[in-house]
Structure formats: structure tokens, C-alpha cells
């Protein structure tokens, strides 16, 4: 059984650089046999949060919200690819994430951060850790952080330069950590219903 992994990316900028990291992750997880899908917040373009998915009466949620809720519920694990905006998280990714709650429960999540600078978005990654935990996910301890994002991958997500080489070296442990927790969570959910 292959792991169903959703990779979330949240920049709305015209000259998005982190999309290359997201593509690298999609390719990396697919090469390991995962059933992987990129969820691009800009492409989905949810409105600013007014009503969460669970606040709509059954059958009345907008179609794109309903479709995404189904994908989240069917997933085994999540990867959040986040840039750092002024020491904080990207608003597009946060807005997408906040539309859901129970749909995230009892699955592992991993964080991949990036920035143009040498700190590689780690402050945003740290902020996401608490947010994802509060939303019912088990956040793995391994992270992937890429500095100098503009030169770390080509347009298709193939690693280039020092930053890309570092990401390629870090990826196996990152993916192994997520796979272990994915298997553990799936086995536990099959053994026993979650307490809530």
C-alpha cells in the first residue's frame, strides 16, 4: 500500500521560487513509491476565511472546498512547504489550512521551509510547528530547510548548486521520518478508533 501524501504550497507571488522546492518534494516522494499530489494554494484560490468547511451545512460547501476536504481526509500524511515572510508564515498557505480542522486529525505532517537568505525560512517552519500541532497533526522532528532558494533548483525542481545539493542530501532522512510516522499512524487508526 503506497502512502497518500499531500504537499501543500502557499505563495501567491508572481515570481514564486518555492514552487521549485515543492516540485522537488513531489518528485522525491513519488520516486519512493508514494501516491503524491501538490496542493497549490494559489491555484485553488480559496477566499479569505469567513466560514470553515465544517461550518457549512452538509452538501452546501463550495465545490473546491468540498473537493479539498475529501483529499485531506483521504491522505496518510502532509508536507507543508513554507516561505518566510517577515519572520512569519505565508498568508496564502495559512488561509488554506485554516479552512479545515478535523480533516487534519491523527496524521503526521512535515515542514519544508525556504527563503532567499541563509536562514532558510526556519522561523516560519518553527511557527508552523505549533500551528499544525494545534490542528491535530503529529509534526515530525525532521525538517528540510533551503536557503538561497532562487539558485537551489531549476524550474522543474531539479537540485542545482550548493543549496540544491544540501536539500538532496537531507531529503532521505526527512522522507524516512515521515514514512515511519505515516505507517505508525495508519496502523494505529486501523487498530483503534481515535478518541475524538
* CATH code for the domain in which residue 128 is found: 3.40.50.360
The tally of domains found in the chain comes to: 1
Report pLDDT digits (tens) over 109-153. 999 999 998 889 999 999 999 999 999 999 999 999 999 999 999
Distance CA 31, CA 72 (A): 22
In a domain, 179, yes or no: yes
pLDDT at 131: 96
pLDDT at 196: 85
Res 172 pLDDT > 90: yes
Which range of residues forms the domain containing residue 29?
4-191
SS3 per-residue string spanning the chain:
CCCEEEEEECCCCCCCCHHHHHHHHHHHHHHCCCEEEEEEHHHHCCCCCCCCHHHCCCCCCCHHHHHHHHHHHHCCEEEEEEECECCECCHHHHHHHHCCCHHHCCCEEEEEEECCCCCCCHHHHHHHHHHHHHCCCEEEEEEEEECCHHHCECCCCCECHHHHHHHHHHHHHHHHHHHHHHHHHHHHHHHCCCCC
Mean pLDDT, rounded, for 24-29: 98
Report pLDDT digits (tens) over 39-84. 999 999 999 999 999 999 999 999 999 999 999 999 999 999 999 9
Give the whole-number percent of the chain exceeding pLDDT 90: 93
In a domain, 196, yes or no: no
Amino acid at each position: 500500500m503506497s502512502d497518500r501524501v499531500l504537499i501543500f504550497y502557499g505563495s501567491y507571488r508572481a515570481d514564486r521560487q518555492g514552487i521549485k522546492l515543492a516540485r522537488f518534494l513531489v518528485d522525491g516522494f513519488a520516486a519512493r513509491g508514494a501516491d503524491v499530489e501538490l496542493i497549490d494554494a494559489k491555484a485553488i484560490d480559496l477566499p479569505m476565511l469567513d466560514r470553515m468547511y465544517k461550518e457549512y451545512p452538509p452538501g452546501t460547501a463550495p465545490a473546491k472546498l468540498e473537493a479539498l476536504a475529501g483529499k485531506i481526509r483521504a491522505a496518510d500524511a502532509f508536507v507543508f512547504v513554507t516561505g518566510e515572510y517577515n519572520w512569519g508564515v505565508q498568508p496564502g498557505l495559512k488561509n488554506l489550512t485554516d479552512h479545515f480542522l478535523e480533516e487534519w486529525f491523527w496524521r503526521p505532517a512535515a515542514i519544508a521551509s525556504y527563503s532567499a537568505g541563509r536562514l532558510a525560512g526556519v522561523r516560519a517552519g518553527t511557527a508552523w510547528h505549533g500551528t499544525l500541532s494545534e490542528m491535530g497533526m503529529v509534526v515530525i522532528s525532521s525538517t528540510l530547510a533551503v536557503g538561497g532558494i532562487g539558485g537551489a533548483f531549476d524550474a522543474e525542481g531539479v537540485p542545482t548548486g550548493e543549496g540544491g545539493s544540501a536539500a538532496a542530501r537531507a531529503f532521505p532522512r526527512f522522507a524516512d521520518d515521515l514514512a515511519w510516522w505515516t505507517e505508525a499512524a495508519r496502523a494505529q487508526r486501523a487498530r483503534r478508533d481515535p478518541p475524538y
